[in-house]
Amino acid sequence: MDEFQRGFPKTCKCGATVMMKTSKTAKNHGRLFHACPNGSEESKWFHTFKWTDKCMVEEIEDLIDKIDDIEGASIKLHKALGACESEIQTLEMETRFCEAVVEKEIHDFKMELRSLKNMIVKEDTEANQRLRLFEKNGKVLLQDLIELCNGQSNPIKTFSANQIIEATNNFSETNHMIRFEFMYKGTLENHLVLIKRATWKLYTSDTLQKIIRDISVSSMVSGHKNFLKLLGCCLEFEHPVLVCEYAERIPLNPETLLPLQMWIRIAKEIAIAVSYLHTPFSRSMIHMDINPSNIFLDSNGIAKLSGFCLSVSIPEGETFVKVDADRVEGTLDYLEYKYVTTGLITDCCSVEESLFEDEQNVMNLRISDRALVYIRRGDCVTLHIS
């Protein structure tokens, strides 16, 4: 018997094909068996002989084993499929997360591009706007310089808007020197400077022309020690900005009043400045707005006259100019009476302009084109300026 072949045998050891037969013995009558045609039950040790029912049992046992193996493999496959499904779900979640991240990054990138585009457009627009303002304001300034001195003034340095903004920390309150006014302290080219910027309409009309007049006259008198020196200007704002040497306003607070002799010296130096406006130029200049807010003191205590927005020039060959009554401008308490009542401006008449009022020291201090007068406790003293 071939013990090594489980189930139904196919061939015998001798090479013959195994056949299924029916036993005719009394003991196993009618029992099916598989045997080599060359052998018999007595020669089963040399030729194949197996009872069919045993072959069937072996086939069933092998089939059960295979089923068990298949079931085990199926369980493993099911677990593997579950792991794959879990992995697929994880990948799907990661994919969705990546898609969300990528979508957000794309959105942020688009926003950055849009912001950059807007910034470029804004900068380009601002640059063009500043260029247009520079050309417009520069034209008005040149026309005023030609009118006043045939364009033969001291060179005027120009600063960019960015330089002014940086110098004043974008016109911050910490740099704002005087409340309700337009004076700023700043640092420009490593020097402390005074920056004058008009942020609203200062006068009833012609704001631009008045600021330009301030620049023009300041440039003409910058060489004189008793005028606030103009270092340059910026024409890139709607209203041009003046950059001047740094100086402080004269103190008017009763707690910080200056000695009487100091007031006299200030008045004398301002009188000299006013006189200078009338003499060295082809056209006499009349300040028209002398008041304490336009007088400064430098670190050495030297008085400096400023604020030429309302200055008027008298044409060559003429002795006066006249303005309409509704165009009379200036600080009300300091306007000259004849000018207010008649609108007449001359370089000869005593155009007295009040400077100071102090109850303790100087009761009423005035200057004219050629003389300084102060009154103290009812005593009038006149100092003539040559």
Nearest to 296 by CA among 305, 288, 287: 305
Rounded to whole angstroms, the Cα distance separating 379 from 188 reads 47
Instruction: Check if 289 is active-site.
Output: yes
Indicate whether 136 pLDDT > 90.
yes
| Structure tokens belonging to residue 230 | 């103009």
Question: Which of 286 and 5 is assigned the larger pLDDT?
Answer: 286
- 148 domain-assigned: no
- Structural domains in the chain (count): 1
Question: Which of 178 and 118 is assigned the larger pLDDT?
Answer: 118
DSSP characters over 147-180: HHHTT------B--HHHHHHHTTTT-GGGB-STT
| Structure tokens belonging to residue 26 | 């009394």
What's the whole-model pTM score? 0.63
Nearest to 270 by CA among 253, 254, 283, 289: 289
Digit-coded pLDDT (tens) for 328-350:
777 777 777 777 777 788 764 33
Q: Decide: residue 359, CB within 10 A, 0-12 exposed, 13-18 middle, 19+ buried.
A: exposed
Indicate whether 358 pLDDT > 60.
no
| CA dihedral for 276, 278, 283, 287, sign (positive or negative) | positive
- 193 domain-assigned: no
- 175 domain-assigned: no
- 3 domain-assigned: no
State the CATH number of the domain containing residue 289. Answer: 1.10.510.10
Structural domain of 375: 248-386
Report CA-CA distances (Å) from 71 to 6, 61, 63, 66.
22, 15, 12, 8
Report CA-CA distances (Å) from 307 to 123, 157, 265, 291, 369.
33, 19, 20, 9, 17
Scan for tokens 């020196």, then name that residue. 229
Q: Are 242 and 167 in contact (CB under 8 A)?
A: no
Candidate from 146-155, 181-190, 281-290 with smallest mean pLDDT = 146-155
Rounded to whole angstroms, the Cα distance separating 282 from 381 reads 33
Helix axes 207-221, 260-278, angle to 10 degrees: 100
List the beta bridge partners of residue 192: 187
- 231 domain-assigned: no
Candidate from 175-179, 245-249, 272-276, 285-289 with smallest mean pLDDT = 175-179
pLDDT score recorded for residue 375? 36
- In eight-state DSSP terms, residue 251 is P
- 335 domain-assigned: yes
| Structure tokens belonging to residue 371 | 């003389």
Digit-coded pLDDT (tens) for 291-314:
888 899 998 999 999 999 888 888
| Structure tokens belonging to residue 67 | 């089923």
Rounded to whole angstroms, the Cα distance separating 202 from 195 reads 16
- 311 domain-assigned: yes
| Structure tokens belonging to residue 271 | 């009188």
| Structure tokens belonging to residue 208 | 């631009």
Indicate whether 243 pLDDT > 90.
yes
Q: What is the mean predicted confidence (pLDDT) over 197-220?
A: 80
Say which of 2, 289, 347, 369 is annotated catalytic: 289
Checking phi first, is residue 336 left (phi over 0); if not, alpha (psi -120 to 50) or beta? beta
Rounded to whole angstroms, the Cα distance separating 242 from 158 reads 9
- 273 domain-assigned: yes
